Homo-oligomer: A and B are copies of this chain.
Amino acid sequence: MPSYTAPVNDIQFVLHALLDAPSQDIPGYSELDADFTAAVLEEAGKIAGNVLAPLNAVGDREGCVLENGVVRTPTGFKDAFDQMKEGGWTALDCDPEFGGQGMPVLLGTAVGELFSGANQSFTMYQGLTHGAYSAIHAHGTEAQKAKWLPRMVSCDWTGTMNLTEPHCGTDLGLMRTKAVPQDDGSYRITGQKIFISAGDHDMSANVVHLVLAKIPGGPEGIKGVSLFIVPKFLVDDEGTIGARNGVSVGKLEEKMGIHGNSTCVMNYDEAEGYLLGSEHKGMRAMFTMMNEARLGVAMQGMAQAEAAYQNAVIYAKDRLQGRAVTGAENPDGPADPLIVHPDVRRNLMDQKSFVEGARAFMLWGANLLDRSHRMNDAEAEGLVSLLTPVLKGFLTDKGFECAVAAQQVYGGHGYIEEWGMSQFARDARITQIYEGANGVQALDLVGRKLAADGGKHVMGFFELVKAFIKENEGDEALKADFLEPLKSASKDLQAAGMFFMQHGMKNPNAALSGSYDFMHLFGHVCLGLMWARMAKAASTALASQTGDAAFYETKLATGRYYMARQLPATKMHLARIESGAAPVMALSAAAF
């Protein structure tokens, strides 16, 4: 069975050597000194490794079961959930006004990686609750917040997000679920929602569904969609749980992975619901949480890659097979361990250099979110909005790819469920799909974010890259291995943007045909920037002769690998983009 060890040192490196979090002028950051974050991460790491990881395979094997209308979670999930609640882990980055600990998203994301990496299905129950919490926190009335939030912060009640219907996912304007206003100000919700993660289960006393629905007589399409709070059990003004609401589980879906999470078809039959935010402004309410939710999925993708990588390394060191081409390295044994073979290393380095770069990118994203939320910083808000589809699309695509690569290290044993490597790949696969499929992320990036505010934010990103290169070009070691590849990759990204500007106005398909490649190109440049910054941080630490020199040397070598062997992908993506719309759009639908 796979194991999980919290990568505390690497997260600490990002929080402190790279981001120097405690010295940032963001409210709440001064508390994040190295001892504090290490203590939090160590504690979270113990739960992740000792409690959640052992349940990962259990969840996969047992799945959830629908019995008499109620979902039963896998053996051990409820106990573990109680431990998470008791430890206060569900409240970490929630508002103290409602029982939260008020920590920044930065720390919440770092801790979230540990829980997700250890057990994605399990952690989703809390993750969805956090999403619903954020929506109510941002758009609820004072009374709504007081009524719902404290129990959601503690996860005594969990939450869900109900968007998708059988005939519509991405295009929510086609939605059919109805909300009919009642005399008492409430609504009656009727319709069917599908793919509702954590839709029902046996770990909390109530489930607070956030449901998108249309109020009859409202505007057509997406502009007539409103958001409602629809609890499983009604709750009176004293917060006491009452009668069952008209909400039921239609069925549980059989899925490729995340078996430990209950993916429900939810039926609403004149269920009592309460408008959250304004009538017909439901999509706007959803959008305000989107950056954070998508960052969360990016985190899941990279977290599965980390977990899979750890186990690939263990196997590669343990499994004896063949001899090193340069001479036996384990001459007394019957064969050398897998890790001596260059192609096994190539595979492991692909994973390692991605995971560490992705972690830095993700935590930088969380840092920008904090800056945006806690300081109302429009620039940070614009930049993180631009980067969000890149984070979500690139980190989940590559995260899945890495989980598959880790599985490959095991050979035939990777294909057998017993070893657990298949689960990493199957669980990671969903991250490319939910919270906006990655094609939709690419569309959001190229069709919306790139030109937002007159292209100001993408220009800001390029300035950032340029400034870093300029600042450091006196450093010869950094220059050859990091700055020059970064400069070249960044130029490719600029050229792609230029191509879109020149051709996209006349023919939007010329831009949209390259959207997916652009998202990946952008992702590589972001990881290139992260690696260049990390290389600088590692060099600085080495020069100061403090800390773990071996760690910093490894960091530099891993960065060099990324720059030399991953970043060249930017040229391929640029070539694909510059081939324009013609190859993509040439065929009639009938010719496919």
Contact = CB atoms under 8 A, between A and B. Distances in A.
Given A170-B322, A575-B568, A345 B584 contact: yes
A509 B583 contact: no
A585 to B, nearest CB: 6
Contact of A321 (B168, B404, B438, B576): B168
Contact of A586 (B167, B326, B438, B557): B557
B587 A443 contact: no
A170 B321 contact: yes
A415 B430 contact: yes
A186 interface: no
A492 to B, nearest CB: 12
B411 A170 contact: yes
Interface stretch (A28-36, A278-286, A470-478, A512-520): A512-520
User: Which A-B residue pairs are the 8 nearest by beta carbons?
Assistant: A568-B575, A342-B512, A564-B579, A256-B422, A557-B586, A561-B583, A254-B417, A171-B321
B170 A408 contact: no
B343 A442 contact: yes
Interface stretch (A89-97, A116-124, A346-354): A346-354
A412 interface: yes
Interface string A565-584: 10011011001100101111
A417 B439 CA distance: 21
24 contacts: A168-B321, A171-B322, A254-B417, A255-B422, A256-B417, A316-B592, A325-B447, A326-B507, A337-B589, A340-B589, A342-B509, A342-B515, A343-B443, A343-B513, A343-B516, A344-B439, A345-B513, A345-B585, A346-B516, A349-B584, A414-B433, A425-B429, A568-B576, A571-B575
Given A255-B416, A509-B342, A554-B591, A408 B516 contact: no
A432 interface: yes
The secondary-structure label for the interface of chain A is helix
A320 interface: yes
A438 B343 CA distance: 10
Given A167-B320, A349-B583, A553-B591, 13 more contacts: A174-B320, A174-B321, A254-B417, A256-B415, A256-B416, A343-B442, A343-B515, A408-B437, A554-B587, A560-B586, A561-B583, A565-B584, A569-B572
A340 B585 CA distance: 9
A325 B507 CA distance: 9
A418 B442 CA distance: 27
Given A411-B169, A433-B411, A589-B339, A512 B572 contact: no
Contact of A433 (B169, B171, B415, B443): B415
Given A408-B439, A564-B583, A587-B557, A415 B255 contact: yes
Complex copy number for this chain: 2
Contacts of A339: 589, 592
Nearest to A516: B343
Most chain B CB within 10 A, of A313, A317, A346, A568, is at: A346
B586 A174 contact: no
Contacts of A345: 513, 584-585, 587
A505 interface: no
A120 to B, nearest CB: 13
A553 B591 CA distance: 9
A10 interface: no
Interface of A: 164, 167-171, 173-174, 194-195, 253-257, 313, 316-317, 320-322, 325-326, 334-335, 337, 339-349, 352, 400, 404, 407-408, 411-412, 414-418, 422, 425-426, 429-430, 432-434, 437-439, 442-443, 447, 507-509, 512-513, 515-516, 550, 553-554, 557-558, 560-561, 564-565, 568-569, 571-572, 575-576, 579, 581-587, 589, 591-592
A343 B584 CA distance: 8
A234 to B, nearest CB: 30
Contacts of A564: 576, 579, 583
A438 B587 contact: no
Most chain B CB within 10 A, of A174, A429, A430, A581, is at: A429
A326 B170 contact: no
A148 to B, nearest CB: 27
A412 B164 contact: yes
Nearest to A416: B253
Contact of A335 (B171, B335, B507): B171
Contacts of A412: 164, 169, 194-195, 433-434
A523 to B, nearest CB: 15
A505 to B, nearest CB: 12
Contact of A584 (B437, B442, B561): B561
A583 B560 contact: yes
Contact of A592 (B348, B429, B432): B348
Contacts of A512: 325, 341-343
A224 to B, nearest CB: 14
Nearest to A481: B583
A584 B430 contact: no
B565 A576 contact: yes
A326 B511 CA distance: 12
Contacts of A173: 335
